[in-house]
Amino acid sequence: MIEAHELVDNDFLRQFELKIDNELAKVEYSLQERKIFLTKLIIPEPIFSEEFQNEFIKTIFEHIEERNLSVVPTSPEIAKFIRRNRQYKSMLPVGVRI
């Protein structure tokens, strides 16, 4: 299980980062007004698993929810995550459908 304090929001590189076993998983983003566009998910092969990917995205969504931002998923993997986890659909801005 990923803990929220392990997640780093790197403002300079505009990405969420999580380091595990010297590998860096990240989600790149763009912030515009009260919306965060999640543009690219990168998980290195040595640490990739479907379970890890879901936990990583879930942790990021919890962090975004605390900041009271809307999510616009432009990454196919993140859009797929929202389709499978309907509880996060409320974080989408008005007019955005997945």
Write out the residue range of the structural domain in which residue 59 sits.
Answer: 4-91
Q: How many structural domains compose the chain? A: 1
- Is 97 part of any domain? no
In a domain, 96, yes or no: no
pLDDT at 98: 83
Q: Encoding tokens for residue 77?
A: 């993997």
Q: Which CATH number characterizes residue 29's domain? A: 3.40.630.30
What is the predicted pLDDT for the residue at 68?
A: 96
* Predicted structure pTM score: 0.92
Q: Describe the crossing of helices 50-66 and 76-84 by its angle, rounded to 10 degrees.
A: 80
Q: What is the pLDDT of residue 96?
A: 87
Residue 49 inside a domain? The answer is yes
Round to whole Å and give the CA distance between 63 and 67: 7
Identify whether 86 is part of a domain.
Answer: yes
Q: Which residues of the chain fall below pLDDT 70?
A: 1, 3-5
- The pLDDT value recorded for residue 97 is 83
